[in-house]
Structure formats: structure tokens, C-alpha cells
Amino acid sequence: MAIKFNRVDFKYQGFDNKGYLALSNINVSINAEGEFITLIGETGSGKTTLVQHMNALLTPTSGNVTIFGLKIDQENIKKKKFRLNPIRQKVGLVFQFPEYQLFEETVLKDIMFGPKNYGVDEATARERAIKMIKVVGLDESYLDRSPFNLSGGEKKRVSIAGILAMEPDILILDEPTSGLDPLGRDALLRVFNDIHQKLNKTIIVITHDMNTVYEYAKRVLVMRDSYLVYDGDPHTLFSKKNIENWNLDIPDIINLLHHLEKDFNITFPKQPQNVDELLTMIEEVAK
Amino acid sequence: MNIIEIENLSFYYQADKPVLKDINLTIKKGEWLTILGHNGSGKSTLAKLLIGLLRAKSGTIRIDNEELNQNTVQSIRRKIGIVFQNPDNQFVGVTVRDDIAFGLENLSIPREEMIERIETYAQKVSMSEFLNKEPHALSGGQKQRVAIAGILAMHTDIIIFDESTSMLDPKGRRMILDYMKTLNDEGVTIITITHDMKEAVLSDRILVLKNGEVLKMDTAANVLKDKITLEKSNLELLLPLKVINRLEEKNIKNEELRSYLWQLSLTG
Ligand SMILES: Nc1ncnc2c1ncn2[C@@H]1O[C@H](COP(=O)(O)OP(=O)(O)O)[C@@H](O)[C@H]1O
Ligand SMILES: Nc1ncnc2c1ncn2[C@@H]1O[C@H](COP(=O)(O)OP(=O)(O)O)[C@@H](O)[C@H]1O
Ligand SMILES: [Mg+2]
Ligand SMILES: [Mg+2]
């Protein structure tokens, strides 16, 4: 078990001193290998807060999180018992807003920062930057540009390249595809999926896109009002009645299937996994 | 009547890299226009030119019959509002309330009306209980909602939404889209920048940009089914239209299914 939450509560200390409970009694475990998890839930439900606990950017108000063997709780923090650097390298987190992550003069320096910070030598860091800029769909000419003079989608890609260059064991992406065009979105999701499949790494993606959940996730976590209300596979999730109560959309594939079943009175033999399967199934019945 | 007229508009950040090339475009009062285009095609740049945040290198922009220039930019900003792609760029206040108030202060709206508008629009975007919070202590989607409330409260004739629903959950997104529709019915001219075809189909016309040039400008229905244009712009057909295409490829004629799928895509 790479990451384990044990009865975690988290309260933000607002300046009104009331505080704001963003996580309530979270218990969840994440494996170091082989997981593709999507984390979904309404705006403000606690998704970002939850993943920021996974690399100790935030620490529990009560309860504890164990990350690669380091137990993080209030007591240990007071004693300053640990170094967080190794955790941050093992658990790479791409922020929701790329602006929080980009700060160097050039894209090259920005991407090299992470690996260098975790002990990778200059030449290797440069090599990785050159590789990763292409992996995220930009060409090498971007390396000399200032990260601030980029379009929203380009900034997003650069921030992702920076974390990929650290080669973390667990890769967490906070809404990585919002603001990307569909082709760019699919290409990036395939990159994450490749990393997952070829290197058997664990990927966690926060998203509002149910098609991403349906087509990529092996496991889905649903946050609602600071609680983790679902931890299971996507198919069970989307067949659940209470889906609307959670304000989840259904994936396009299932939506279309339901329409056709209802209005044409046909039943499809099984739930298609992807668009191609769906097209083939419809082709069969339309003949 | 045209509320926006753009003639031979060109722009670059660095002289050797044109970002917008000779754009010509008119938008009618009360129209809902969607701007589509691949990442980096120039959508946000065009939006920033329209509100006078950037200055054209050549060409003219007329808003409500007034040419946009240094002298008119202040008065034009009362007519056109924008919700930025990244809501963080929009926050200036200490609290959410201050933030919504900021735009209104610039319009010299009486205090009482200001208070009323703040409450009204915070409620419209379901952010009433957050009015005393610091904007930076909000989640990404909550920031987007506040940014939207701030612009709505200004009652401008034209509103540009630059990917303003990208971080909202499906319910929040539907709520904002419904509200855009209401505004548009009331006569507000709406420009939405998006990658989501389900959103684009709600509008009257669609402008497609590619590498800073107009690739296509047509009714939403016509752009929706134009596979080639969409592919050139890194966009994809709505799922029901993908099915129609597949049936055509395989030479399967099923008129009933075809028209059903077409209707389905028009409703988003
Ligand atoms: N720095 C902060 N101070 C106070 N409250 C915060 C802070 N950051 C987030 N919150 C609140 O905590 C809740 C959860 O936020 P977040 O985890 O960002 O939500 P999500 O990512 O699911 O949209 C929200 O209601 C938000 O307003
Ligand atoms: N401040 C800037 N300085 C230099 N180039 C920029 C700046 N902002 C954007 N660009 C470039 O201009 C092009 C268009 O950007 P933008 O209008 O933001 O695209 P879109 O909104 O369509 O994704 C991109 O290639 C981007 O790299
Ligand atoms: Mg978030
Ligand atoms: Mg943009």
C-alpha cells in the first residue's frame, strides 16, 4: 500500500477563524502500482484537498496519512520527524492551475526544475525536458519561451511535462484536460494510459468528464461535501440509481445507448467499452 | 443591427509570429456566437482585443457603432464584459463580495443597488454562502462561478465567456449554460469560447479559427456536421453524428435512425 488514509479530517483555517471542513473521515488506500483512478465530484467537494494530502502538501487536521511508509499526522509534524522531498518525488502532483507551478524564465528551466531539485544531474534533466515537451504535444521551440507568454492550454501542457520529467511512481493530475482541445485531451489521456500500462504505474486523474471516467478508469472515487461516497469500478457507478443525486453526468456512450434502447425498443447485448465498440454494435442492429 | 464589426484585424505578440491574420467578422445584436479552434489558434487573443486589453496591430473593431481606441475604451468596457479563461486573473478583492463589487464601483452604481446586485448574482451562481470568503480560498470551479457573477452583475450588452465552464461539474455547467440562454433571450449578445460541441450547438453561429485565421463561419447546425473542419481544428463530431457517419460509410440506409440521431445532436 503506497498511500493510506486513516480517518482523515481536514479543516482550512479561514481568517474568520471558523475554519472550513473540507475532508471528513476519509479512509482510502492507493496502491503503488497498476491503478488508473479517476476522482470525480462536484465543485468544492474536496477533490483538490484530497490529492494535496497524497504528497503531504496538506497534512490532516486529525487522523493520519501514510505515504510510502511515512506516517503523517499532527504529532509527527510537530516533532518534524521527516523529510518530505522523497515523497514529493515519488508522488508527482500536477496542479489544477498551471500558474501555481510555473515560475522560471523559460519553459526548459521550468521542466528541469523538478528533476534537478530531486537530485538528477543537469544533463539528464535537460534530456528529460526535451523528451517530455514532445510527449505533451508541444515542439522543442517552446523550450526557450517564457512560460507566462503561453496560451492556457500550452501552460497546462508545460506544467504536466514538468511533473512527468520527475518520473514519479504515482502520478496525480488535478483536472489536467480542462481547457484542452479534444484531440489534445485524448492524446494526453493516452500518454497517461501508456505510462500506466507500460510502466505499471499508478495514475490518479481528477476530471468532470464522464467519458474519460468510462473509457480509462479502472477505479473511481467520488467526493461529495467533504466525504468519500464511492470507491469502486466505473460500471457499477454508472449503473447506480443515485447517479443523479450525485450530479454526475452519464458518459456519452451510455447516454446514446439508453436513448436508442428506449426510443427504438432494442436491447444491446452488452455495454460497449469504447466508441468503436458502440459503432459496431449499432451497425449490427441498423442493418 | 451589428453590435460588433471587425475589419481586417491583425495581431502579433512578436512581429515574426502573427497570431491573428486579417480577421473580418460581424456579430449581430442579440446573437449568440461560439468561437471554436485548436489550442493556440488565437481565441483568447481575439477576446482580449475585443475588450481593448490588447491593441490591434492593424484593422478596426467597432462596438455598438463606436470605434475601439484609447479614447473610447473606457466607455466600451461598460458595454462588453469578459469572464477570463483563468478566473485567478480576475480577482482583485479581499473577499468574494469585494470582488463582485469591484466591477460595479467602476460603473459608479449607487451603493444600495450594488448590494442588491451582489446578492442577486451570487445567488444565481450558487455562491451566496461564500460572499465573505477570500477568493483565493475557493476551489477552482467556485472561482469560475464568482468570476461569472462579477461580470453578470455589470449588466453589459455583450458578454464573452472564455472557456468559463471548463472547471465546473456537470450540474454547475448546465446551470451556467441555462443562464446564458436566459440572458440571450433577454437580448444580451453572447460570445462563448469552448471546445465542447454540446455547448456550441446551443449558439446561433460558430466561428472556427485555425492558426489565427477564420477557417469557417456558419450556422451552428452546419458547423456541427462538418467533419473536415472539425478535424482540422482538433475537434470531434458529437457521438450521434459519428454514428451517422459510420452508417454512411457502411452504406447502411436507415432514414428513421438517421434523422433521430441528427435531432439528438441538435439538442446537445
Ligand atoms: N485555502 C482555503 N481556505 C479555506 N477554504 C478553502 C481553501 N481552499 C479550498 N477551500 C474550500 O474547501 C472546499 C473544498 O475545496 P477543493 O478541495 O478545492 O474542492 P474541489 O477540488 O473538489 O473543487 C471548498 O468549499 C473550498 O471553498
Ligand atoms: N503574452 C503572450 N506573448 C507571446 N505569445 C503569446 C502570448 N499569449 C499567447 N501567445 C501565443 O499566441 C497564440 C494564441 O494564443 P491564445 O489566443 O491564448 O490561444 P487560444 O486561446 O486559442 O488557445 C499561441 O500560440 C500562444 O503561444
Ligand atoms: Mg479542484
Ligand atoms: Mg484561450
Nearest CA-CA partner of B246 in B261, B232, B233, B231:
B261
Is the CB of A179 less than 8 angstroms away from the CB of B85? yes
**Domain count of the fold of chain B:** 1
Question: How do B80-83 and B158-162 pair as beta strands?
Answer: parallel
- Residue-wise pLDDT for B59-82, tens only, equals 999 999 999 999 999 999 999 999
E-state strands within A105-218? 170-174, 202-206
| Residue A24, SS3 per DSSP | strand
Q: What is the pLDDT of residue A69?
A: 92
Q: What angle do CA A67, A98, B234 make, to 5 degrees?
A: 115
In a domain, B235, yes or no: no
Is the CB of A151 less than 8 angstroms away from the CB of B44? yes
Residues A233 and A212: beta-carbon distance below 8 Å: no
> Percent of chain A scored above 70 by pLDDT?
95
Residue A287 has pLDDT above 80, yes or no: no
In a domain, B160, yes or no: yes
Residue B245 Cα, gap to closest chain A Cα (Å): 10
- Residue-wise pLDDT for B99-133, tens only, equals 898 888 888 888 999 999 999 999 999 999 999 98
Task: Output the residue whose Cα is nearest ligand 2's atom 19.
Answer: B40
Q: What is the mean pLDDT of residues A137-160?
A: 93
Report whether residue A48 contacts ligand 1, using a CB cutoff of 6 Å: yes
What are the φ/ψ torsions at residue A46 (nearest 5 degrees)? 120, 10
The CA A196 to ligand 2 mean position distance, Å, reads: 32
Residue A15 has pLDDT above 70, yes or no: no
- In chain B, which among 209-228 make CB contacts under 8 A with chain A? none
Is the CB of A283 less than 8 angstroms away from the CB of B247? yes
> Percent of chain B scored above 70 by pLDDT?
99
- Residue-wise pLDDT for A185-227, tens only, equals 999 999 999 999 999 999 999 999 999 999 999 999 999 999 9
Residue A116 Cα, gap to closest chain B Cα (Å): 29
Q: What is the pLDDT of residue A245?
A: 65
A179 versus A18: the higher-pLDDT residue is: A179
Residue A157 has pLDDT above 90, yes or no: yes
Distances (CA, A) of B35 to A84, A224, B4, B130, B212: 45, 33, 14, 32, 12
Question: Hey, is the C-beta of A287 within 8 angstroms of any chain B C-beta?
Answer: yes
Is the CB of A96 less than 8 angstroms away from the CB of B167? yes
Domain that holds residue B128: 2-220
Q: What is the pLDDT of residue A16?
A: 62
Question: Hey, is the C-beta of B115 within 8 angstroms of any chain A C-beta?
Answer: no
Q: What is the pLDDT of residue B149?
A: 93
A85 versus B235: the higher-pLDDT residue is: B235
Is the CB of B239 less than 8 angstroms away from the CB of A179? no
> Which among A52, A181, A223 is the top mutation candidate for probing chain B, defined by the most B β-carbons within 10 Å of its own β-carbon?
A181
Residue A247 has pLDDT above 70, yes or no: no
In a domain, B60, yes or no: yes
Residues with CB under 5 A from ligand 3 (ion): A 48, 96; B 139-140
Q: What is the pLDDT of residue B155?
A: 94
A16 versus A20: the higher-pLDDT residue is: A20
Q: What is the pLDDT of residue A241?
A: 63
> Percent of chain B scored above 90 by pLDDT?
76
- Residue-wise pLDDT for B6-61, tens only, equals 999 999 999 999 999 999 999 999 999 999 999 999 999 999 999 999 999 999 99
Which DSSP string corresponds to B212-245? TEEEEEEEHHHHHT-HHHHHHTT----HHHHHHH
Question: Hey, is the C-beta of A25 within 8 angstroms of any chain B C-beta?
Answer: no
The CA A174 to ligand 3 mean position distance, Å, reads: 7
Q: Exposed e or buried b for every residue in B145-155, given b needs 16+ CB within 10 A? A: bbbbbbbbbbb
Atom of ligand 2 nearest to the CA of B45: 17
Residue A243 has pLDDT above 70, yes or no: no
Residue A249 has pLDDT above 90, yes or no: no
Question: Hey, is the C-beta of A264 within 8 angstroms of any chain B C-beta?
Answer: yes
The CA A45 to ligand 1 mean position distance, Å, reads: 8
pLDDT band at A17 (very low <50, low <70, confident <90, very high): low
Residue B191 has pLDDT above 60, yes or no: yes
What is the C-alpha separation between A240 and A238, in angstroms, rounded?
5
Distances (CA, A) of A138 to A135, A164, B89: 8, 14, 24
pTM of the model: 0.92
> Which among B39, B86, B125, B192 is the top mutation candidate for probing chain A, defined by the most A β-carbons within 10 Å of its own β-carbon?
B39
Domain boundaries, chain A: 3-250, 251-287
Closest-CA residue of B relative to A145 is B14
In a domain, B89, yes or no: yes
Question: Hey, is the C-beta of B234 within 8 angstroms of any chain A C-beta?
Answer: yes
pLDDT band at A264 (very low <50, low <70, confident <90, very high): confident
CA contacts within 13 A on the Cβ side of A121: 2
In a domain, B229, yes or no: no
Average pLDDT, chain A: 91
Q: What is the mean pLDDT of residues A79-83?
A: 78
Residues with CB under 5 A from ligand 4 (ion): A 152; B 43-44, 85
What is the domain-level CATH number for residue B59?
3.40.50.300
Q: What is the mean pLDDT of residues A239-254?
A: 73
Amino acid making up residue A210: M
Question: Hey, is the C-beta of B260 within 8 angstroms of any chain A C-beta?
Answer: yes
For residue A64, what is its C-alpha cell? 493520519
In a domain, B120, yes or no: yes
Residue A242 has pLDDT above 70, yes or no: no
Distances (CA, A) of A208 to A101, A202, B222: 22, 20, 28
Is the CB of A42 less than 8 angstroms away from the CB of B169? yes
Task: Output the residue whose Cα is nearest ligand 2's atom 13.
Answer: B40
How many residue contacts between A and B have a Cβ separation below 8 Å?
A: 121
- In chain A, which among 42-71 make CB contacts under 8 A with chain B? 42-44, 47-48
Question: Hey, is the C-beta of B255 within 8 angstroms of any chain A C-beta?
Answer: no
Question: Hey, is the C-beta of B34 within 8 angstroms of any chain A C-beta?
Answer: no
| Residue A158, SS3 per DSSP | helix
Report whether residue A44 contacts ligand 1, using a CB cutoff of 6 Å: yes
pLDDT band at A250 (very low <50, low <70, confident <90, very high): confident
Residue B185 Cα, gap to closest chain A Cα (Å): 26
Phi and psi based region of residue B188 (left: phi greater than 0; alpha: psi -120 to 50; beta: remaining) = beta
Is the CB of B239 less than 8 angstroms away from the CB of A149? no
pLDDT band at A111 (very low <50, low <70, confident <90, very high): very high
Q: What is the pLDDT of residue B171?
A: 84
Q: What is the pLDDT of residue A8?
A: 98
Q: What is the CATH number of domain A3-250?
A: 3.40.50.300
